[in-house]
Amino acid sequence: MQRLLCFFFLLPALVCAQGGMWLPSQLEKLNEKEMKALGCKLDADAIYHANQPSLKDAICQFDGGCTGEMISPEGLLLTNHHCGFDAIQKLSSLQHNYVEDGFWAQSKAEELPAPGVTAMFVRRMEDVTLLALQDVTEGMGEKDRQAQIDKNIVQIRANTKKEKWEETLVRPFYNGNQYFLFVTITYNDLRLVGTPPSSIGKFGADTDNWVWPRHTGDFSMFRIYADKDNHPAPYNTNNVPYKPGHFLPVSLDGIEEGDFTMVYGFPGRTDEYLSAEAVRQTGAVLDPARVSVRDRALKILDSYMRKDPAVKIAYVAKYASIANAWKKWQGEMLGLKTYKAVEKKEAYEAEFTQRINANTDWKFKYANLLPRINQLLREMEPYALARDYYLEACVRNNEILGLVASLNSWIESYDKNGAVGFNTKIQENASRLEEFYKNYRPEVDEAVFAGLLELYAQNANPDWGGTYVKQMVAGRAKPDDFSGFAAYIFKNSVFPNQAKMKALLADKPENLALTLKNDPAYLFYKGLNSAYIDNVQPKLQTLTPSISLLQRQYMAAQMVVFKDKRFFPDANSTLRLTYGPVRGYEPRNAVHYEFQSDLDGVMEKYIPGDYEFDVPKRLIDLWKAKDYGVYATSEGKLPVAFLGANHTTGGNSGSPAIDARGNLVGLNFDRVWEGTMSDLNYDPAICRNIMVDIRYVLFIVDKYAGAGYLLKEMKLVQGQKKHKKKK
Ligand code: ARG
Ligand code: ASP
């Protein structure tokens, strides 16, 4: 539809060329005009200002990987249920099952401290490219270049004026062509204020994940506490609610199709400027391999979780996180193919080549770039595949090998320095180990270990690990008896056994080191890891820097050759703004998706007793009574979620969806299935972000949970959106 609109009404090309995760400090230069054309009523400096309060002061990076926003003058923080989930799970037990039942503090005194959870705000940002690249010369090798930049960054940070409770960081942008400095402030006394039960906060769970229509109330609330000067302080009962520089008013007006929205947050990673060959490899080679490993792991986990509720609690967060990327990669594979991403990139590259061929200077400088990149990528392909297989099967989804890998550093340190520093290292890690075992079940992990090794033995290059695994298995069990081998390892290793591990940790360092070194899981890991280090790593280590160098040059070349195009920097976990209209989409011929879902849709999906689609009785009652209060739409429906053409990615979860006037209208939490490829190939025609409608959040807090007192600290606004003309 959007394409048609652009074509027929000849809207300025600007308005149609959407997408992008823009730097807040550059909005005035690059985006303000377009944003206003799309309906935004705010000036760029109301959104970002280094020295005056602006929207940015309401936005924080939540717990390192998500986004959160301030919604009251008393430090009340809104984020996703899935972002708070780790903390909610850690606070839960079978007696107090907040995952299952939800939780609402009835007063500040009842809020639950969430140790380890952080909220980071950006105070200001600054382009420091010239300083970061000082004394960096064209002919420099990548290693020397990086060393020089690292030195410059140390200098930049040392020279930055900041308060002692603030921090600085410098990050590369545009593949290392530009650098920005950020002054940040991180709070670490956060307390859980409330969460709906999973049957609301995670409604539809993995089946509905990455899919529209969606009916999830994916939100939770925390409160930030600070010392009496409003500065960060570790948890302390004397701390007081944080007073943010800005908090978002919450709009009761709702949204309509075509309304301007913006999403402000911390997108993690995108790769929008890769070559066609790199995109082909991801979609056709790497994604399928990663998916196949996780497929196996998930099936095994599922079989155990269904049998035992205690296992389900222990593994539910791990399962969700494995399943999340697993499903996304499948959507990505499909989207890249369906919407012809490689072909589009090829056409773009043809245009690039044509332009440089018409310019002697460019031709001299850039003609070799793409052929070189593609040649190296093809050389890299088998190694990249081996890396992904190894990481997926032997590190990430393999708990015991992952644990061995992380404790391996103890042993390496012992071998190097003897007992010096050994004890401190162990003490430092003691609580991490405790956490590990809390949600660990050896019998489950044993089955996963066996399944993943089997897959690895079948698929890893025989000379790079496949044969090693088969030999080890045959030596301890029968040929190809992976379960037998797993049984041997799990019976004889201390790693899966918390009690044995604990006793060992209390022993003398030399005994501890000796036992671990002779442990069968450790020995197996060592062999497996050597196969990787000897055969895969060296090639990766030579090819990766060469490819990044070329990619940096290609990025710079694109920005020169396509002067008419605006380039946003790929996401890198720094603060960004994206904007676009509320809009449904048409993924296929004759299929149209509405922009909004409502509570009737929750009831359509309701499966009593199902672990993904059960609905709490109280919500059913409210639905029957149509008791929606001020939260209903003009048609008398209770809105649940809506779609926008905002360019988001992982890390944007929990980001506020803000209307044209700066009010909160939604809470970002996902993307649509057809558009999950947006990290590599954003297409404004079909890529949509999914947001919880803020009215659903308020409804759940107020009517469902009876925690309406929280609304009193918010600033609710209504009636600001008068007589909007229909688009
Ligand atoms: N797909 C969303 C994101 O990438 C939501 C994930 C949480 N939900 C879930 N069912 N696992 O994070
Ligand atoms: N669900 C993602 C997140 O957790 C957002 C996305 O990938 O669209 O950040």
Residue 49 catalytic? no
To test the pocket of ligand 2, the residue of 653, 673, 678, 692 to mutate (highest count of ligand atoms within 8 Å of its CB) is 653
Q: What is the pLDDT of residues 353-391, one digit of tens each?
A: 999 999 999 999 999 999 999 999 999 999 999 999 999
State the number of CA atoms in the 13 A half-sphere of 249 facing the CB. Answer: 15
Taking the centre of ligand 2 as the mean of its atom positions, its distance from the CA of residue 487, in whole angstroms, is 37
CB of 290 closer than 6 angstroms to any ligand 1 atom? no
Task: Label the pairing between strands 112-113 and 189-195.
Answer: antiparallel
CB of 281 closer than 6 angstroms to any ligand 2 atom? no
Q: What is the largest CA-CA distance in the chain?
A: 78
Strand, helix or coil at 115? coil
Q: Is the pLDDT of residue 727 over 60?
A: no
Categorize the per-residue pLDDT at 6 as very low, low, confident or very high, splitting at 50, 70 and 90.
very low
Asked if residues 572 and 170 have their Cβ atoms less than 8 Å apart, the reply is no
Task: Please give the backbone phi and psi of residue 571, each rounded to the nearest 5 degrees, phi first.
Answer: -60, 145
Rounded mean pLDDT, 96-111: 96
Residue 653 catalytic? yes
Taking the centre of ligand 1 as the mean of its atom positions, its distance from the CA of residue 329, in whole angstroms, is 13
The larger pLDDT score, comparing residue 409 to residue 626, is at 626
Taking the centre of ligand 1 as the mean of its atom positions, its distance from the CA of residue 443, in whole angstroms, is 27
**For 166-173, which contacts have Cβ atoms below 8 Å and span 24 or more sequence positions?**
166/123, 170/128, 170/132, 171/572, 171/573, 171/574, 172/572, 173/23, 173/569, 173/570, 173/572
To test the pocket of ligand 1, the residue of 89, 209, 649 to mutate (highest count of ligand atoms within 8 Å of its CB) is 209
Q: Is the pLDDT of residue 189 over 60?
A: yes
Distance CA 648, CA 675 (A): 10
Categorize the per-residue pLDDT at 7 as very low, low, confident or very high, splitting at 50, 70 and 90.
very low
Q: Tell me the residue length of the chain.
A: 727
Distance CA 215, CA 601 (A): 7
Strand, helix or coil at 666? strand
Taking the centre of ligand 1 as the mean of its atom positions, its distance from the CA of residue 265, in whole angstroms, is 16
To test the pocket of ligand 1, the residue of 199, 319, 669 to mutate (highest count of ligand atoms within 8 Å of its CB) is 669
Specify the ligand 2 atom closest to the Cα of 267.
Answer: 9
Asked if residues 74 and 64 have their Cβ atoms less than 8 Å apart, the reply is no
pTM as predicted? 0.94
Q: Is the pLDDT of residue 724 over 60?
A: no
Q: Is the pLDDT of residue 90 over 90?
A: no
| Given the residues 49, 81, 82, 246, the one annotated as active site | 82
Residue 678 catalytic? no
Specify the ligand 1 atom closest to the Cα of 82.
Answer: 7
Taking the centre of ligand 1 as the mean of its atom positions, its distance from the CA of residue 655, in whole angstroms, is 14
Rounded mean pLDDT, 543-561: 97
CB of 320 closer than 6 angstroms to any ligand 1 atom? yes
Q: What is the pLDDT of residues 126-154, one digit of tens each?
A: 999 999 999 999 889 899 999 999 999 99
Q: CB 83: neighbour CB atoms within 10 A? A: 24
pLDDT of residue 722: 62
**For 288-292, which contacts have Cβ atoms below 8 Å and span 24 or more sequence positions?**
288/333, 289/385, 289/388, 289/389, 289/392, 289/459, 290/325, 290/326, 290/329, 290/388, 290/392, 291/326, 291/329, 291/330, 291/333, 292/455, 292/459
Average pLDDT taken over every residue of the chain? 94
From the CA of 319, which ligand is nearest?
1
CB of 198 closer than 6 angstroms to any ligand 1 atom? no
pLDDT of residue 11: 41
For 524-553, give one letter per residue: b (16+ CB within 10 A) or e.
bbbebbebbeebbeebbeebeeebebbbbb
Strand, helix or coil at 21? coil
Distance CA 504, CA 517 (A): 13
| Given the residues 208, 218, 598, 659, the one annotated as active site | 218
Distance CA 335, CA 127 (A): 35
pLDDT of residue 413: 83
Q: What is the pLDDT of residues 495-518, one digit of tens each?
A: 999 999 999 988 888 899 899 999
The larger pLDDT score, comparing residue 417 to residue 497, is at 497
Alpha helices in 562-673 (DSSP H): 599-605, 617-625
Q: Is the pLDDT of residue 700 over 50?
A: yes
Q: Is the pLDDT of residue 577 over 50?
A: yes
Tokens of 625: 């009574």
Q: Is the pLDDT of residue 76 over 80?
A: yes
Q: Is the pLDDT of residue 680 over 70?
A: yes
Rounded mean pLDDT, 577-606: 97
Q: Is the pLDDT of residue 9 over 50?
A: no
Specify the ligand 1 atom closest to the Cα of 202.
Answer: 10
Categorize the per-residue pLDDT at 17 as very low, low, confident or very high, splitting at 50, 70 and 90.
low
Three-state SS sequence of 336-386: HHHCCHHHHHHHHHHHHHHHHHCCHHHHHHHCCHHHHHHHHHHHHHHHHHH
